[in-house]
Structure 1
Amino acid sequence: MTATTMGSEEAQSHSMNFSVLGSSAPVLAPRVGKLALASRKTLSTPHYVPLTSRGTVPHIAHDMVRKATAINSLYIGLEDFITRKAPAPVYKIPVTDEESRLRKFIAAAPDVPLIMAPRRFPAIPCPPNNTDTSIAILTSVGFRQLEAQQYLDSIRMLKPDIAIGFADLVYGKTPGVKRRGKMVDRTHAYTQDALQKLYGASVAEEERSKAAYFAPVLPLENTQQSLYLEDLEYEFHDRLSGLALYESASLGFIPEALGDLPRLVLSEPSSPHDLLRDISLGGDLLTLPFVGECSDAGIALEFSFPAPSGAHYQREPRALGIDLWGSEHAKDVSTLSEGCECYTCRNHHRAYINHLLNAKEMTAWALLQMHNYHVMDLFFADVRGSIQRGTFDEDVQLFNRAYVSTLPERTGEGPRLRGYQLSSGPNKRAPKVYGRLDDVSQKFAKSQSSVATPDTDASGLEHHGFAKKVR
């Protein structure tokens, strides 16, 4: 089956093509495809989309991304670049007519597709509520509202290759019946307005966005958003380039008429087992927060697909990774994974990574991140090969028997948490370390009313300062 997202001249002015090369069914089946964007790398699907912090893959410098990894796309949250009132620097960087301000600002390679969304992923819940014309976001200077029109202007100005549409989402809690209805209505209005203003017939050709637009699909039941999905199928189809789903279960709700569109699954699989399930349902591009989480935890991923020959005959399933904090690795000069050809394994060994972790040296997390992304590159390449051979279901069963179903537990301290990794609740601030200066001053004043020497207080104990550490 071959499909293209190129609509009529009236509908779109960008150039993006998605072809399904092999699948047993139009929906709810694993499939292999090619997603091609003009002047960018062609993405073989299924594949992962690396998550970024301010446009950078955490821990890996841009030059090392190009030299030492096969990373070929970037997911970027616009809220990373928004400041208080004045235009953010990303909007003011000088460019030519054809250049992308976003690409130039983050120094991304010219052939790497940029996928921009309003929020980073996973997103932090925001206390402010979404409105009919805006959504709540978390910026480097606090919470604020991002207007829908501002986001559309950003798409035109920053020129990402793929833009994910606005969605009225509820984070951290289950929405009620009325709230779910409002989510659908608002998301429908956001999508309709965006497609009209970016690609509508009334928009001059030179002003139409060249970004491919992925419409959001809410994490709700089919019946709750059936009218919205019908409009995606019949009213918006010619102007859509793809779908962005916020949970893999929504893959089962995609109408057959939209089966030719690429599907970006914004989910949080807890292990490769969950990831294989998402792929089996027809996911094309997938986000993998667990890769960065494992790197932060000092865990080197170690698994392959299909499972190694004879692995299912072992008494105990294999672990999915190695915790390099353990003292047993202090003198181990073997590679992180047997036979691995990543930059880290070609140049370093377990003992070195163990030393870096215990020294809290940030190079440790950079080397682990490069290794873990290499493991995922091989994993997805083998998954695509398995689907094309027609052995995917059998290979998944073998993998599930050969490996434990959960990633190793975290035992060591990771790098310093960034702001967007912290909870937005009342416990966001770090606990107090030192007592209140006022309290200590009062105690000191009280001690002066008793008999005391210059080196002791009234009780005869030595004192060396006002701030007493609270344990």
Structure 2
Amino acid sequence: MTEQVGSRKADASEGAAQAKLFAPLLPVTCANQQFYIDCLTDELVHDVSGLAIYDLRSVEDLPEALHHQPRLDLTEPKTPHEVLQRMALGMDILTVPFATVATDAGIALAFIFAAPTDPPETNGHHHIETLPLGIDMWLPTHAVDLSALVDGCQCYTCSNHHRAYLQHLLVAKEMLGWVLLQIHNYHIIDVFFRDVRQSITNGRFEEITARFSRVYESSMPETTGQGPRVRGYQFRSEGRGEGKKNKAPFTRLDGAKDPAVERASPDTHAGVGDLDATSLTEKRE
């Protein structure tokens, strides 16, 4: 791989944009991949533009010679708390799949990095009622709620629509519901990272991170609905007789089951004769 990248660099015209090579670290400590680390620090130091991290153990004993390299975090944090943890470990580029996971589950993200201030102390203790990281938009209580998804949010969804409309779209299985929800959730993530960058500039990242951890719950809320992508057809079954994730939207009016459902599915390598035996092919005169 390194030689191919080198040849591309030699053949590329001067001033043209070059691809950046992020060297992947194995999901073990650096001590357990010492030979590879030595190659990165000695022979490949000028060819590598950053490090791809798949396990946090890889940065526990990262050698000083690699500390200056940008770090691409591919560990898929599940909450903003885990995102902040990875930033504290020096991650520069992060993936945040929980934003899309929340959208599919019908959850409207509701956190901000500049969290509300702690309440005054009473008898030497803070009495903090933790805030949820998101709001379950499937709840029937939203059906007549004309307020924005999140108070004060300036995203397109919150500026033009209300909770009742979004809840109706979800219940009706209208794809627009998840589109509007994704717009909102992406806006929350954008504002979150904007505030994080500002806190780093101001030297207050550790202080605000600690307050964020105190104010917000540690996990995302449980959903009461089912997302558009959890139909069951794109998920491989994990056991025999496992049903679909979602119930079929249409059924027979007489309550009878579809005969095709009752037939046993043939093996993936079945021939025409096997298909005939299972009545999955129609013989035409």
Q: Which residue of the partner structure matches residue 117 of structure 2?
A: 309
- 1:333 is displaced (CA, Å) by 0.8
Separation of aligned partners in 2, 1:428 and 1:282:
46
Separation of aligned partners in 1, 2:18 and 2:232:
32
Separation of aligned partners in 1, 2:113 and 2:9:
50
- Residues 236-247 of structure 1 aligned to structure 2 (within 5 Å): 236-247=44-55
- 1:209 is displaced (CA, Å) by 8.7
- The CA deviation string for residues 138-169 of structure 1, in whole angstroms up to 9 with x for no partner, is xxxxxxxxxxxxxxxxxxxxxxxxxxxxxxxx
Q: Which residue of the partner structure matches residue 197 of structure 1?
A: 4
- Residues 289-308 of structure 1 aligned to structure 2 (within 5 Å): 289-308=97-116
- The CA deviation string for residues 390-415 of structure 1, in whole angstroms up to 9 with x for no partner, is 22112111111111101001210101
Q: Is 1:227 matched with 2:54?
A: no
- Could you tell me which of 249, 257, 262 is aligned with 2:70? 262
Q: Which residue of the partner structure matches residue 162 of structure 2?
A: 349
- Residues 406-417 of structure 1 aligned to structure 2 (within 5 Å): 406-417=219-230
Q: Which residue of the partner structure matches residue 436 of structure 1?
A: 263
- Could you tell me which of 321, 332, 340 is aligned with 2:145? 332
Separation of aligned partners in 2, 1:392 and 1:231:
34
- The CA deviation string for residues 341-371 of structure 1, in whole angstroms up to 9 with x for no partner, is 1111111111111000000011111111111
Separation of aligned partners in 2, 1:437 and 1:261:
56
Identity over aligned pairs, percent: 46
Alignment check: 8 A CA contact 1:297 1:414 kept:
yes
Question: Which runs of 5 or more structure 2 residues have no equivalent in the other structure?
Answer: 121-125, 245-256, 266-285
Separation of aligned partners in 1, 2:116 and 2:46:
45
- Cα distance change on mapping 1:201 and 1:338 into 2, 3 Å: closer
- Where 1:330 maps in the other structure, the secondary structure is helix
- Where 1:212 maps in the other structure, the secondary structure is coil
Q: Which residue of the partner structure matches residue 365 of structure 1?
A: 178
Alignment check: 8 A CA contact 1:198 1:209 kept:
no
Question: Which runs of 5 or more structure 1 residues have no equivalent in the other structure?
Answer: 1-193, 439-471
- Could you tell me which of 212, 216, 221 is aligned with 2:24? 216
- Where 2:167 maps in the other structure, the secondary structure is helix
Separation of aligned partners in 1, 2:167 and 2:173:
10
- Where 1:238 maps in the other structure, the secondary structure is coil
Count of residues in correspondence between the two structures = 246
In structure 2, give the amino acid aligned to 1:308. Answer: P
Alignment check: 8 A CA contact 2:111 2:133 kept:
yes
Q: Which residue of the partner structure matches residue 280 of structure 2?
A: none
**Which structure has the highest strand share of the two?**
1
- The CA deviation string for residues 185-240 of structure 1, in whole angstroms up to 9 with x for no partner, is xxxxxxxxx1111214995445x993111111111122211211121111111011
Q: Which residue of the partner structure matches residue 90 of structure 2?
A: 282
- Where 2:154 maps in the other structure, the secondary structure is coil
- Where 1:215 maps in the other structure, the secondary structure is strand
- 1:422 is displaced (CA, Å) by 2.7
In structure 2, give the amino acid aligned to 1:348. Answer: H
- Where 2:60 maps in the other structure, the secondary structure is helix
Q: Which residue of the partner structure matches residue 390 of structure 1?
A: 203
Q: Which residue of the partner structure matches residue 163 of structure 1?
A: none
Q: CA RMSD in A?
A: 3.0
- Cα distance change on mapping 1:423 and 1:217 into 2, 3 Å: farther
- Cα distance change on mapping 1:381 and 1:436 into 2, 3 Å: same
- 1:385 is displaced (CA, Å) by 1.3
- 1:314 is displaced (CA, Å) by 5.0
**TM-score normalised to the size of structure 1?**
0.48
- Could you tell me which of 213, 218, 227 is aligned with 1:405? 218
- Cα distance change on mapping 1:266 and 1:311 into 2, 3 Å: farther
Separation of aligned partners in 1, 2:116 and 2:210:
13
Separation of aligned partners in 1, 2:10 and 2:233:
37
In structure 2, give the amino acid aligned to 1:302. Answer: A
- Cα distance change on mapping 1:225 and 1:437 into 2, 3 Å: closer
- Cα distance change on mapping 1:435 and 1:202 into 2, 3 Å: closer
**TM-score normalised to the size of structure 2?**
0.77
- Where 2:23 maps in the other structure, the secondary structure is strand
- 1:429 is displaced (CA, Å) by 7.8
- 1:247 is displaced (CA, Å) by 2.1
Separation of aligned partners in 2, 1:213 and 1:437:
50
- Where 1:322 maps in the other structure, the secondary structure is strand
Separation of aligned partners in 2, 1:202 and 1:408:
48
Separation of aligned partners in 1, 2:207 and 2:94:
22
Separation of aligned partners in 1, 2:3 and 2:159:
51
Separation of aligned partners in 2, 1:345 and 1:382:
20
- Cα distance change on mapping 1:304 and 1:311 into 2, 3 Å: farther
Separation of aligned partners in 1, 2:210 and 2:234:
34
- Cα distance change on mapping 1:428 and 1:271 into 2, 3 Å: farther
Separation of aligned partners in 1, 2:53 and 2:74:
6
Alignment check: 8 A CA contact 1:220 1:250 kept:
yes
In structure 2, give the amino acid aligned to 1:195. Answer: T
- Residues 78-117 of structure 1 aligned to structure 2 (within 5 Å): none
- Cα distance change on mapping 1:391 and 1:203 into 2, 3 Å: closer
Alignment check: 8 A CA contact 1:248 1:283 kept:
no
